[in-house]
Chains A and B, each alone.
Chain A
Amino acid sequence: MIKKLFENIGLYFQMLRVVFSKPEKWSVFRKRVFDEIQIIGLSSILIVAIMSVFIGAVIALQIASNMDSPLLPSYTIGYITRSTTILEFSPTIMSLILAGKVGSNISSEIGTMRITEQIDALEIMGVNSLAYLVLPKIVAALIFFPILVIISMFLSICGGWIALVLSQMGSTEDYIYGIRAFFKSFEVTYALTKTVVFAFIIVSIASFYGYYTRGGALEVGKAATQAVVTNSITVLVFNLILTQLMLL
């Protein structure tokens, strides 16, 4: 198992070396990037929006319901909601959700192309199949994941405010004061840096499992599952490493 792990890591870096080659034609590459932004990014906005609003609401309500001490200032709800959202929920939890949605999609798409010989067809035509298929996905994710995370941050904080006002557990003034209190712009830089790293991990690992699929439909399903599991673990490990490096 350890041997297999190291073999896969070696193969993964070999794959990356080929992925980062000059595209055959820039006009085709540009169109592929826009197509992938549509598939990977725009189609994920709805799920990101729904989850962000609801989780932001739950965070705010849980903090409000656990604030028993009169010593805690009333703006604490807004302050903790903002911090939780920016530091952890939007970059990490959203990336884990995208690892499931986008990762399985990429892995099964490329895996199906592999078992139906479409990748062989590309290679025989003289197209660098890795650069053609994977590079636009990576570029699209690097561009659009941070946008998704910024949308998530905004909607999550809005969700917290809506829940707080509707449940009458806090005032709008206190909430707004809280989300502005002790704000450090570096927190956003940290969150977006994490997002960019996670975007690269999610797309490259999913592509790796898809590209090296062998067999039939069953193996495509297995590859998608493996991609999601490996992505989730890798994202969590890198979350810890980046937090150590950037915050401590």
Chain B
Amino acid sequence: MIEVKNINKSFSGNQILFDINAQFLQGKVNLIIGQSGSGKSVLAKNIVGLHTPDTGEVLFDGRNFVQMSRQEKTEVRKEIGMLFQGSALFDSMTVEENVMFPLKMFTNKSHKERLDRANFCLERVNLSGKNKLYPSECSGGMQKRIAIARAIAMQPKYLFCDEPNSGLDPKTSIVIDGLIQEITYEYNMTTIVITHDMNSVIEIGDRVMFIYKGKKWWEGDRNSILTTDNQEIIDFVYASSFMKEIRDNMQKKI
């Protein structure tokens, strides 16, 4: 479980996050949603340590990440897998080398053992046989799946996904969402997904946290988000005419 307590963060005097408290549960897909600029990516970067919060604590199963030394943080980071918005694959390496990279850096496995693990992870994301391709030779959806394979190579306890569906078509988005959900349950990971894709919310959101203007505005699950009377959530969820139509149809049925 990951817990954040009283997180505040500002840049050059401009406060972005206001006193955020939240718990992200193990074995669940925890979603952080909100409009662009609401602070959800900043919150995620504070949790994984790319930013340091001005005040507050980030607890990985009770271990306070903020107060750790660089060496201690490195140890925790080996338990974290992250899927970036732009995949962040190393473009000078092949698919196989990308997946093997964390194993090469942090384990004493032989080349064959690393290769076996990479093949297993690539098979898990349905990319068997693509080992020798370079990221530039892969489609956006494939790159996301390679990034997932790399993220799970070290069998992480925590998985972070920053807008995993951005730039993908709806069908591929569903595949990526499905993969994230499956591996979360399969490996009993604590998964945090940053998104503003309502389809992801409905498909995989075991727990949903809504950030509004840097504050935690609402928390619930994928069913309650559709029925809440919170105005800011209603504006966010039913922003598109398609969602409005669904709501109208639901109301007619009732």
Q: What is the interface of chain A, defined by CB distance below 8 A to chain B? A: 24-25, 28, 116-118, 120-121, 123-128
Q: In the complex, A67→B50 CA distance in Å? A: 65
- Residues on B with C-beta less than 8 A from A117 are 84-86, 88
Once bound together, how far apart are the Cα atoms of A117 and B75, in whole Å?
A: 21
Please, what's the 1-or-0 string for B101-134, where 1 marks a CB less than 8 Å from any CB in chain A? 1101110000000000000000000000000000
A96 to B105, CA, bound (A): 35
Q: How far is the CA of A120 from the CA of B106 in the complex (A)?
A: 17
- Of the candidates A28, A121, A127, the one whose C-beta lies within 8 Å of that of B84 is A121
Find out whether the CB atom of B106 lies under 8 angstroms from the CB atom of A124.
Answer: no
Among A24, A118, A126: residue with most chain B CB under 10 A = A126
Please determine whether B88 and A28 come into contact, CB atoms closer than 8 angstroms. Answer: no
Question: C-beta contact mask, B72-109 vs A, less than 8 Å → 1, else 0?
Answer: 01111110101011101111000000000110111000
Q: In the bound complex, do residue B105 and residue A25 qualify as a contact, i.e. CB atoms below 8 Å apart?
A: yes
CB of A83 to closest CB in B, whole Å: 42
Given contacts A117-B84, A117-B85, A118-B90, contact A124 B50 (CB under 8 A): yes
The answer on a CB contact under 8 Å between A125 and B48 is no
Contacts of A123 in B (CB 8 A): 49-50, 77
User: Is the pair A126, B84 in contact by a Cβ cutoff of 8 Å?
Assistant: no
Task: Give chain A nearest CB distance to B227 CB in angstroms.
Answer: 36
A9 vs B239: C-alpha distance when bound (angstroms)? 48
Q: Which residues of B contact A (CB under 8 A)?
A: 48-50, 73-78, 80, 82, 84-86, 88-91, 101-102, 104-106, 160
A126 partner, pick from B74, B85, B90, beta carbons under 8 A: B74
Are A126 and B78 closer than 8 Å at their CB atoms?
Answer: yes
B77 near A120: Cβ-Cβ < 8 Å: no
State whether B90 touches A127 (Cβ < 8 A). Answer: no
Partner of B105, one of A116, A120, A125: A125
When chains A and B are docked, how far (Å) is the Cα of A116 from the Cα of B87? 8
Measured between alpha carbons, how far is A125 from B76 in the docked complex, in Å? Answer: 9
Smallest beta-carbon distance A36→chain B, Å: 12
| A120 CB contact (under 8 Å) in B50, B76, B78, B91 | B50
User: From residue B47, how far is it (CB to closest CB) to chain A in Å?
Assistant: 11
User: In whole angstroms, what is the CA distance A126 to B86 when docked?
Assistant: 19
The complex places the Cα of A124 from the Cα of B86 at a distance, in Å, of: 15
> In chain B, what residue has the closest Cβ to A126?
B77
CB–CB B88/A126 < 8 A: no
- A118 to B89 Cα, complex, angstroms: 6
A127 to B49, CA, bound (A): 13
Docked complex Cα distance between A121 and B89 (Å): 8
Contacts of A128 in B (CB 8 A): 74
From A24, A121, A123, name the one whose CB has the most chain B CB atoms within 10 angstroms.
Answer: A121
Contact B106 A121 (CB under 8 A): no
Question: Given that A28-B104, A124-B82, A126-B78 are contacting pairs, would A116 and B88 also be in contact in the complex, using a CB cutoff of 8 Å?
Answer: yes
Cα A121 to Cα B78 in complex, Å, equals 12
Q: What 6 pairs between A and B have smallest CB-CB spacing? A: A126-B77, A117-B88, A121-B88, A126-B74, A117-B84, A124-B82
Task: Quote the shortest CB–CB distance from B142 to chain A (angstroms).
Answer: 16
Write the nearest CB–CB distance from A112 to chain B, whole angstroms: 8
The smallest beta-carbon distance between B140 and chain A, in angstroms, is 13
Nearest CB of A to B190, in Å: 15
B88 CB contact (under 8 Å) in A24, A25, A120, A127: A120
B98's nearest neighbour on chain A, judged by CB, is: A121
Query: From B71, which residue of chain A is reached at the shortest CB distance?
Result: A126
Q: Is the CB of B85 within 8 A of A127?
A: no
Q: In whole angstroms, what is the CA distance A25 to B101 when docked?
A: 12
Name the residue on B nearest A118 (C-beta): B88
Q: How far is the CA of A126 from the CA of B82 in the complex (A)?
A: 12
Q: How far is the CA of A225 from the CA of B50 in the complex (A)?
A: 27
Shortest B67–chain A CB gap in Å is: 17
A–B complex contacts, Cβ < 8 Å, 13 sampled: A24-B106, A117-B85, A118-B88, A118-B89, A118-B90, A118-B91, A121-B82, A121-B88, A121-B90, A124-B48, A124-B82, A125-B106, A126-B76
